[in-house]
Amino acid sequence: MNFELSEEQRILVDTLRDLGKREDFKSLAAEIDRTVKVPRYLAEKYAEMGLLGMTLSPEFGGGGQAGINAILAIEELAKFSPVIATPVFESNIGPVKVIDSFGTIQQKSSIIPGVCKGTMSVSVGMTEPEAGSDLTSLSTRVAEDGDGYLLNGRKIFISGGGEASHYLVYCRFGNVPGSRGVGAVVVEKGTPGFSFGEQERFMGLRGMASCDLIFDDVSLARDSVVIGAGEFRNLMTTFDLERCGNAAMCLGVAGGALEEAKAYAMERRAFGRPICEFQSVQFMIVDMSMRLDAARLLVYRAASGAGQGFPSIYEAAMGKCFANEMAAEVTSTAMQVLGGYGYSKEFPLERMHRDALAWRVAGGTVQMLRITMASMLLGRRFSQRAQAPFS
């Protein structure tokens, strides 16, 4: 086992660290949180640096790199803010990866080059009012309509909603029940019958677009289908890679919080000496570092497997679950190190903590991830559906 980054990976991390300092991403993160507006120049800059589509197919403008490289980039940028890291996330291991892996040549050639240039983006439409963790119960439906399809339904809490140019919509084909009827179609923004709800107002991740997607007799061509009915496993296989990106966001947020806590502990004085000399503060910092390193090893293991194709369900679930909870714990502890300043909006910790809490429900709750892991550890599936009472 090799736990060392390659020379290329070290250069990538150092380059992004220098970029963040040079462009003052720390101040930008605070501004985005305050104004709820993300400057468009970020995507343009990332495109110039080759960060957008770095894991996508070279024949369509991508970089052809391993998934772990995108994870490293996301982690480094998320130390400032997950919102600042989002363009790299969405263009590498988000739903565009489904199109890159399973889409048609026409779909790839019309979307991937734009994603790599930063002129297009792809958002995923999964969650519904009655189908979140229970994804196989989704009701958004495509029905045969002459030479094409009609799409009807509603999606909620869709990251990138209203901002993305294209949407990978998980839907049911006809009346086929369960996972056998679930596939995905790609829908372009501006298609007649496709509209958006109001932008959500969340506790954290301010500036990250999110809203409902509304489909009212949206007419789609046959070539809009990316994943057909009966290929649900392909959708979830790529979603495991997206979960690694979710976990990388947590590594970044927690890493940024740890850096803030360490710097403060070295400078802040109490009782005539720096507070880093107090054992209780030392223990908090060490505990944060241990949790972060443990999560990083789990996430890197899953993402490295993705370099050979896609991560295993088990490794992706474990990495995400542990990283999600770690980020909440580490940012909370870092706030404690800063005392009253940690709770102040003049310092970044309270924002980091708000951002950290979101990932435990995004991309699969930590409870559902535990059920997934239990099924694999015990060699049997555990249905969450209501069981008939004993008579």
| Rounded mean pLDDT, 287-314 | 86
- 4-19 in b/e form (b: 16+ CB < 10 A) is eeeeebeebeeebeeb
pLDDT of residue 307 exceeding 80, the answer is: no
| Rounded mean pLDDT, 313-338 | 96
CA–CA–CA angle 272, 275, 280 (5° rounding): 130
| Rounded mean pLDDT, 266-290 | 97
List, by residue range, all CATH 1.10.540.10 domains of the chain. Answer: 7-117
| Rounded mean pLDDT, 315-339 | 96
pLDDT of residue 308 exceeding 60, the answer is: no
pLDDT score of 263: 97
List, by residue range, all CATH 1.20.140.10 domains of the chain. Answer: 233-378
Tell me which H or E stretch contains 378. Answer: helix 366-378
* Beta strand spans in 41-193 (E): 122-125, 141-145, 148-159, 166-173, 182-188
- Find out whether 212 and 156 touch, Cβ atoms under 8 Å: yes
- Find out whether 387 and 270 touch, Cβ atoms under 8 Å: no
Tell me the CATH number for domain 122-230: 2.40.110.10
pLDDT score of 178: 83
CA–CA–CA angle 47, 52, 54 (5° rounding): 125
Q: What is the 3-state secondary structure (H, E, C) of 53-77?
A: CCCCCHHHCCCCCCHHHHHHHHHHH
Label the pairing between strands 148-159 and 166-173. Answer: unpaired
pLDDT of residue 391 exceeding 70, the answer is: no
List, by residue range, all CATH 2.40.110.10 domains of the chain. Answer: 122-230
Instruction: Map tokens 């199109």 to a residue.
Output: 99
**Per-residue pLDDT tens digits for 178-212:** 888 899 999 999 999 999 999 999 999 999 999 99
- Which of 14-23, 137-146, 232-241 bottoms out in mean pLDDT, i.e. has the lowest? 232-241
Residue in 112, 83, 82, 114 with CA at minimum distance from that of residue 100: 112
- Find out whether 106 and 225 touch, Cβ atoms under 8 Å: no
Tokens of 322: 């542990």
pLDDT of residue 353 exceeding 80, the answer is: yes
CATH 1.20.58.220 fits 7-117, yes or no: no
- Find out whether 160 and 123 touch, Cβ atoms under 8 Å: yes
Please state, rounded to an integer, the average pLDDT across all residues of the chain: 92
Sign of CA dihedral 255, 260, 266, 268: negative
β-sheet bridge partners, residue 221: 148
pTM of structure: 0.92
Query: Would you list the DSSP string of 306-372?
Result: HTTSS--HHHHHHHHHHHHHHHHHHHHHHHHHHGGGGGSTTSSHHHHHHHHHHTTTTTS-HHHHHHH
- What's 233-378's CATH class? mainly alpha
CA–CA–CA angle 291, 250, 85 (5° rounding): 145
Cα–Cα dist 312/46, whole Å: 29
Tell me which H or E stretch contains 212. Answer: strand 210-221
pLDDT of residue 34 exceeding 80, the answer is: yes
